[in-house]
Amino acid sequence: MNAINSEIDAVGIVLAAGRGSRMRSRVPKPLHTLAGRELIRYPIATLHECGIRRVVVVSSPDNRDAIAGILGDQVTYAIQTEPEGTADAVECGIRALPGVSSLVVVLAADTPLVRPESILGLMESHRAGSKRRMTILSAPGAFGPDLGHIKRTDRHYPGGLGDLVAIQEAADRDEPDNGLAEVNTGVYCFDGSWLEKSVKMAPASASGERYLTALASMAVDAGDAVEAAPIALADEAMGVNDREQLAAAGAVIRDRINRSWMSAGVTLVDPATTYIDVDVAIGQDTVLQPNTMLTGGTKIGEECEIGPNTGIRDSAIGDRCRIVASTIEEARVEDDVEIGPYSHLRPAAWIEAGVHLGNYVEVKNSRVGSGTAAGHFCYLGDADIGAGVNIGAGTITCNYDGVDKHQTVIGSSAFIGSDTMLIAPVTVGEGAATGAGAVVTRDVPEGRRAVGVPARLLPK
């Protein structure tokens, strides 16, 4: 089998023009998220991981700009102006790839569970067949009342040993089939030159749509070879058409993610209550306690303990950190930091090595220097705090005057007394100190002490 990520001679077409009316949403279906990644990004990532670099996304006029805003220039775009079926959509995609002679892999934007290994196996199966024009990724023994069924000369499951003769769409079955069947996953591998000629001739169905599945019986009638390659995991066939299916697919993705991290040396104390997005990275020997959520592009270092009851989004956490029952958003935390319980790092918080932030400490758009400690009930906003500072309970940087935000600067080794109010813009110099309850409205020079309301400097 081809090595994952090595470039291969194949192109991909991703069908993303469906209206997704069952989602009942103003958001186009391909842009709904699953484990922190939009649905449309899953097939693109899968194709790229298989080494398929040339990809066309077929979208509708309504969602083209929104999809392009997510994918940028990593794909080519084609527009299906009217919803006339999957064959018409592929024909639109082929027009963006004139003269295709290589293999063409087609999959839908709403099937995020298909794995790269399955795509590679599909292509390998296709290459192995003599005069093979079309190979379908199928799910034998699956429950798919709303999916197309593979029809063979021996139509009784589980035999399934006869030659493939057609794919019957759910809409074309006389009666709903609620039993097990060999289900069409909607993932295909075609001979490119044959597809370019044949897709134009796909007939309209009773519903008026031109189905890509019609190409199977067309090829068989012409004496060409068509086969179905079984998928390894039945849940890969799961599509997303409504919110319930979105949640079901999310459960599968989360289980895969959790298992992969446990295999990589990360401890999940309770996987059922641990939520990890697909683009998260975690270091070896880190322990995730129950009710932990790691989302977005979060990166966690080695030998950390995260949770319980902790949410971290789009943040970088160093090694050997302990974060308990706290929320961290778009922040940077260096090594050997302790945070929580019940603290909150807001965007642009930068916590240097060895800092201790105890309970109910909020940091926003601030740098907290190495070895600094803020044990209780603090708000540190728009601040630059040096190393080795002691910040007493109840300290607040009063950064907002009702119109503008202002900065507070605290020098290294300063001592900030409990309940100090720092009225920004203000600077407390290196080694300086404030008394308990001080309201500091003017700069405190290096090594000096300020007490009172408003704070006044004590004699040297």
Give the CA distances from residue 192 to residues 93, 96, 132, 352, 406, in Å, rounded to whole numbers and listed in that order: 12, 13, 11, 55, 62
For residue 381, report the phi and psi dihedrals to the nearest 5 degrees: -120, 135
Distance (Å, rounded) from C-alpha 57 to C-alpha 38? 14
376 is catalytic: yes
The continuous run of DSSP H or E covering 190 comes out as: strand 180-191
Provide the 10 A C-beta neighbour count for residue 259: 12
The string of DSSP codes covering 72-133 is GGGSEEEE-SS---HHHHHHHHHHTSTT--SEEEEEETT-TT--HHHHHHHHHHHHHSTTEE
Cα dihedral: 261, 262, 267, 273 (round 10): 80
| Contact by Cβ (8 Å): 109, 43 | yes
Q: Which of 32, 126, 376, 406 is catalytic?
A: 376
Distance (Å, rounded) from C-alpha 427 to C-alpha 408? 6
For residue 297, report the phi and psi dihedrals to the nearest 5 degrees: -100, 35
Distance (Å, rounded) from C-alpha 187 to C-alpha 126? 12
Distance (Å, rounded) from C-alpha 220 to C-alpha 15? 24
Catalytic positions are 376
